[in-house]
Amino acid sequence: MSFTGTVKDEVSKIQIGEVEKISELSGIVSAGAEISNSIIVTTENNSVARRVYTLFKEIYRINPKIIVRKGYNYNKKINYILEVKNKVEVILKDLGLQNGLPLSYILADDELIRAYLRGVFMMCASINDPKTSRYHLEFNLVNEKLAIFISNLLNEYNLNSKLLHRDTRYMVYVKEAEKIGDFLRMIGAFRAVMYYEDIRIYRDHKNMTNRLNNCEQANVDRVITTSNNQVSDIELIDSIGGLDLLEEKEREVAVYRLKYRDASLLELSEIISLETGHKITKSGLYHRFYKIKQLADKIRNNNK
């Protein structure tokens, strides 16, 4: 089962109160139902289908007609189609759906908002498994007004959702890992949250380790490049007997550089300070090598 299916399976089995059932069913119908003379809800998730059936039965004492149909062509998944033909107008009025949008009493408090969003999620949302993909949560909707409404509702909880128009559909999506985790908590998918956070922390730790390793390798590469350039300057000067042209301090660091070619400037400054008894800092060492480089550049220019 996909991660999306696992999350929907979990939230479809949450025990909720009677009032929350109305809000959850409102989310289901507004986001995933075809409405005419009947209410038709289609889902590929068996647990969600049972949840929808149970909600209609417990709230309205109605047993929806169930049709199980296998997908055509490349889509071989099973579709569960639930059809309600009785009390349609009563149900729609009771669910507070006005032009596809819920009325205020459906979202009267945080618990009811969570229930409504849970219903919407079960019908039209998908979420990437953090172990195999980038962080991504999306709601795929047909109704533009509902898409805008859902996006605004999510952003009331600082989830930073965005809205994208794609062909005849509208996609509301969230990309930030922490925000997706917050949404899973909102809808009560606590097992999914534990899994999601474990993977997220592991990936963040792995990425941080990789960045540190890359940084360390970059530092090593810089040390090697700097050392090779300094050795090249010194050997060029020595090839024409020019080391005697250097002042004593520059000549000293030149000798030590040829002796300790792999040492960084900090390591070389500590070696020279220890062996000579004269303290020299990294910046002081850099200044002396700069003078050596100036002489080497003059020699190169003269050779041209």
Confidence of residue 189 (pLDDT cuts 50, 70, 90): very high
- Supply the pLDDT for residue 259: 86
Higher pLDDT, 72 or 208: 208
* C-alpha radius of gyration, the chain, whole number: 34
pLDDT (0 to 100) of residue 133:
67
Angle at 150 between CA 176 and CA 6, to 5 degrees: 60
* Mean pLDDT, residues 98-109 taken together: 86
Give the integer Cα–Cα distance in Å for 196 and 42.
27
Read off φ and ψ for residue 33, nearest 5 degrees.
-115, 145
For the record, the structure tokens of 53 come out as: 């059936």
Q: How does residue 209 score in pLDDT terms, banded at 50, 70 and 90?
A: confident
Total Cβ atoms within 10 A of residue 9: 19
pLDDT digits (tens, 9 = 90+) for 78-92: 889 999 999 888 899
What is the band of 197 on the pLDDT scale with cuts at 50, 70, 90? confident
Confidence of residue 295 (pLDDT cuts 50, 70, 90): confident
**What's the confidence (pLDDT) of residue 288?**
87
**Residue 203 confidence (pLDDT) above 80:** no
pLDDT at 218: 77
Which domains are assigned to the chain? 3-188 (3.10.28.10), 215-299 (no CATH)
Task: List, in sequence order, every residue forming a beta bridge with 64; answer none if it has no partner.
Answer: none
Q: How far apart are CA 289 and CA 286, in angstroms?
A: 5
pLDDT band per the 50, 70, 90 thresholds, residue 21: very high
pLDDT band at 225 (very low <50, low <70, confident <90, very high): confident
Average pLDDT on 8-14 reads: 95
Q: Evaluate if pTM is beyond 0.75.
A: no
Any idea which residue has 């409404």 for tokens?
149
Identify the helix (H) or strand (E) that includes residue 68.
strand 65-70
Per the prediction, the chain carries an average pLDDT of 88
**Whether pLDDT at 168 is above 90:** no
pLDDT of the residue at 304: 67
pLDDT tens, 50-63? 999 999 999 999 99
The pLDDT tens digits for 244-291 are: 777 888 888 888 888 888 888 888 888 888 888 888 888 888 888 888
Q: Does residue 217 surpass a pLDDT of 90? A: no
Query: Does pLDDT of 215 surpass 80?
Result: no
Distance of CA 25 to the CA centre of its chain: 30
By percentage, how much of the chain surpasses pLDDT 90? 45
pLDDT at 202: 76
Better pLDDT: 244 or 151? 151
* Stretch 166-190: mean pLDDT: 92
The pLDDT of residue 300 is above 70: yes
134 has pLDDT over 90: no
